[in-house]
Amino acid sequence: MSTETSLFELSRPGRQAWSLPELDVPGLDPEQVFGSAARKDNSLPELSEIDIARHFTRLSVLNHHVDKGFYPLGSCTMKYNPKVNEQAARLPGFSDIHPLLPESACQGALKLMYELGQYLKEITGLDAITLQPAAGAHGELTGIMMIRNYFEKKGENRTDVLVPDSAHGTNPASVTVSGYKSVQVKSNEKGRIDLAELKQACSENVACLMVTNPNTLGIFETESRQICDIVHSCGALVYLDGANLNAYMGIHRPGDAGFDAMHINLHKTLSTPHGGGGPGGGPVAIKAILEPFLPKPVIRMSKDEGRRTKASSGNSTLDTRHSTFRYWLDYDRPDSIGRVLAFSGHFGVFVKAYTYIRMLGSQGLRDAAECAVLNANYVRAGLEGIYDLPYKERCLHEVVFSGSNFRQYGVRTLDIAKRLLDYGIHAPTIYFPLIVAEALMIEPTETESRQSLDRFIQAMKEIAEQAKTDPEQLHEAPTQTPVRRLDEARASRQLDVNYQEPGN
């Protein structure tokens, strides 16, 4: 049995990774500076550079990540992240700047954020934007707060927000935190919003409808225009959960369909790594009617006509005027909902999203969306008939199967997911969406090859056969991972980093 120990256990007296010069200033007792707040034990691990490098390398290969293998988490968009984005974000001019620099000293950063906002408005078909929100749910909260202020400014006391049963789980939470009451709208037999149900739910009490499109079944709401018209007819607005924008960017613009506000998950749609606690980005794009309520500050651009100069070109002299653009932060916004995040948002995420958009261009973004849809439907076709498919509509970027047909063998979706880990493949999202029993929510993303998808499909087929012939094998899975099946709730609260070889 081999184990991976902690840095303190690896520590040996006298080892060091680098040498520091002798102290050339008087030493101080920490208690003289910090008083009772001073640490009583100031010991740190003593390690060589190779001890440190090997320890973290061993830990990194035990963890599953997109660079290591397929990661088909439905709804989470665990796409591969181009390394050029990371390189751009680490450029000294971006990584070393401070958010409290004066505007004159960070014109490049302000320009990048301004242009990113312009691109996102073009992609969504909306009129104004804030980059501040830190992630998708934070964007939802920001959008609903702006909608609330909009109705308060009009003197309307609306109380309800409609949320379809196929929406992301964060939607009703954002509604509640915003002070509204969440009212569920049921889906029809095709997995889309039931228009009759929607019409019945609409009233003067409704502030907005929150739509996830494509919804959590991976199905596109083809009647978006009718949905928006129904909601607008009672004076309410329509908010789009844009977490699944990667399914239609460059193909469909929500603003053109009548949506009034939406957030964009930069860390899902535009390649910044997702998961691991962040950072993320959840910009909110809106129609002009909501613009006064944007969080402040708002990034502005003003054109400054500079001095004239003479420039020679061949035998002629050109009289030119240098045009410069000045970027600045607008705080003078009396109707703003205020700040929703310190400074202007997660700047490193902005750089990666900006790089991704500039690298692909408009056609490249459309190609990415089409490949995401193609890959999801390839998986759908490969597994249909083996796993239950509750909704037969063609999917977009993700497909939702059910493991219900294996209950007769005593096998549940959890067993299927755990067994998949033995194949070196991360499990898909399970037991969500809630409207599908024993759900398996699979999103391959556009960055996976056909060979990768074939390997996943074959593994899922083998597991389906094992469920019938040797269900106990699935109950015991995983057997080839660093740890066996865990109590996930307890493991997240009582973390143990000790590693044992599989089988021990």
Confidence of residue 504 (pLDDT cuts 50, 70, 90): very low
Span 47-57, average pLDDT: 93
Residue 122, pLDDT above cutoff 50:
yes
Distances in Å between the alpha carbon of 61 and those of 86, 214, 282?
Answer: 20, 34, 30
Confidence of residue 1 (pLDDT cuts 50, 70, 90): very low
* Residues whose CB falls within 8 Å of the CB of residue 343, separated by 6 or more in sequence, listed in order: 99
Q: Which two tokens stand for residue 451?
A: 């060979």
Condensed to tens digits (0 to 9), the pLDDT of residues 303-326 reads 875 544 454 444 555 555 556 779
* Residues whose CB falls within 8 Å of the CB of residue 298, separated by 6 or more in sequence, listed in order: 130, 329, 330, 333
pLDDT of residue 121: 98
Q: Say whether both 473 and 437 belong to one domain.
A: yes
pLDDT of residue 3: 64
Span 190-211, average pLDDT: 96
Q: Say whether both 372 and 487 belong to one domain.
A: yes
Minimal CA–CA distance to 467: which of 428, 422, 430, 412?
412
Domain boundary among 323, 356, 389: 356
Number of domains in the chain: 3
Quick check: 73 and 429 in contact, CB under 8 A?
yes
pLDDT of residue 42: 72
Residue 67 lies in a domain: no
Residue 138 lies in a domain: yes
Residue 99 lies in a domain: yes
Pairwise CA distance, residues 139 & 241, whole Å: 9
Condensed to tens digits (0 to 9), the pLDDT of residues 74-102 reads 988 888 888 999 999 999 999 999 989 99
**Can you give the residue range of the structural domain that contains 217?**
87-356
Give me the CATH number covering residue 143.
Answer: 3.40.640.10
pLDDT of residue 77: 86
Average pLDDT of the chain to the nearest whole number: 91
Sign of CA dihedral 76, 244, 190, 385: negative
Q: Say whether both 484 and 463 belong to one domain.
A: yes
Pairwise CA distance, residues 487 & 112, whole Å: 45
pLDDT of residue 6: 87
Please tell me whether the peptide bond between 82 and the residue prior to it is cis, using omega within 30 degrees of 0.
Answer: no
Pairwise CA distance, residues 501 & 504, whole Å: 6
pLDDT of residue 175: 95
Pairwise CA distance, residues 405 & 290, whole Å: 48
Collapse the DSSP code of 440 into the 3-class scheme (helix H, G, I; strand E, B; otherwise coil) and give the result.
strand
Residue 279, pLDDT above cutoff 90:
no
Q: Say whether both 348 and 208 belong to one domain.
A: yes
Q: Say whether both 181 and 297 belong to one domain.
A: yes
Residue 136, pLDDT above cutoff 80:
yes
Residue 316 lies in a domain: yes
% of residues, the chain, pLDDT over 70 = 93
Quick check: 422 and 478 in contact, CB under 8 A?
yes
What does 342-374 look like in DSSP terms, one character per residue? Answer: STTS-HHHHHHHHHHHHHHHHHHHHHHHHHHHH
Residue 263, pLDDT above cutoff 70:
yes
Sign of CA dihedral 491, 494, 500, 503: negative
Q: Say whether both 294 and 203 belong to one domain.
A: yes
- What's 23's DSSP letter? P
Minimal CA–CA distance to 47: which of 10, 93, 20, 84?
10
Count CB neighbours of 386 within 10 A.
Answer: 15
Comparing 48 with 62, the larger pLDDT belongs to 48
pLDDT of residue 420: 97
Q: Which residues pair with 262 in a beta bridge?
A: 240, 285
Residue 80 lies in a domain: no
Q: Say whether both 373 and 409 belong to one domain.
A: yes
Q: Which two tokens stand for residue 497?
A: 């980093």
Q: Say whether both 100 and 182 belong to one domain.
A: yes
